[in-house]
Amino acid sequence: MPVYNFIDGYSNPVFHISNAITKTKEIINLDLCDEAGLTKEYELFAIKHDLLDYSTETNWQGFHIHFTLPYSYSDKINTMNIKKLINYILDKNINYVINLQPRIDNINTYEVICTTDKFTLNIMKGGTKAIGNKISELTFRTKYIQTKIDWVDTSTYAIPIQNDFAVI
């Protein structure tokens, strides 16, 4: 098994869409994010008390993970997949559950809510010969507070992906 100098996987993000009432289940694979990469930011929550002796007691409650997916380049298929994902998010008639698997080679998934309040869609240079679109970043946050960091060693955990093995 290969040894990697990083943790938590290296592949593309996947969204799992479901609804218990309509039995809807769909998987939306997005391309790898641009050179900035998919980022995970951890927002810690704690209850803090300042005591009479001027010390502070802290009771850590957990954290939310904020996911940023930047797309300075998105081909037609990926752009249409992003459109499909956004339409699921915006559907007011059906309450879809959206789970994000940040990297397909890592089995960790999180129920998320969309925190993007605006985004842009531009065509790349080239007019009719343009190679794709530019989309501003998409942002998501875990719906529920997490209580344990679940990073995995990319070198010790393998999941088969098509003709390759992803290691996490």
pLDDT tens, residue order, the chain (168 aa): 678 888 888 889 999 999 878 777 899 999 998 888 899 999 999 999 999 999 999 999 999 999 999 998 999 999 999 999 999 999 987 889 999 999 988 889 999 999 999 989 999 999 999 999 988 899 999 999 999 999 988 887 655 454 444 444
Answer whether residue 150 is part of any domain: no
Backbone angles phi, psi at 76, to 5 degrees: -60, -45
Answer whether residue 1 is part of any domain: no
**Structural domain total, the chain:** 1
Answer whether residue 24 is part of any domain: yes
Could you list the residue range(s) of the whole structural domain that residue 81 is in? 14-145
- Give the pair of three-digit tokens for residue 27: 């998987």
Answer whether residue 43 is part of any domain: yes
Answer whether residue 103 is part of any domain: yes
Answer whether residue 6 is part of any domain: no
Backbone angles phi, psi at 111, to 5 degrees: -70, 130
Answer whether residue 157 is part of any domain: no
Answer whether residue 2 is part of any domain: no
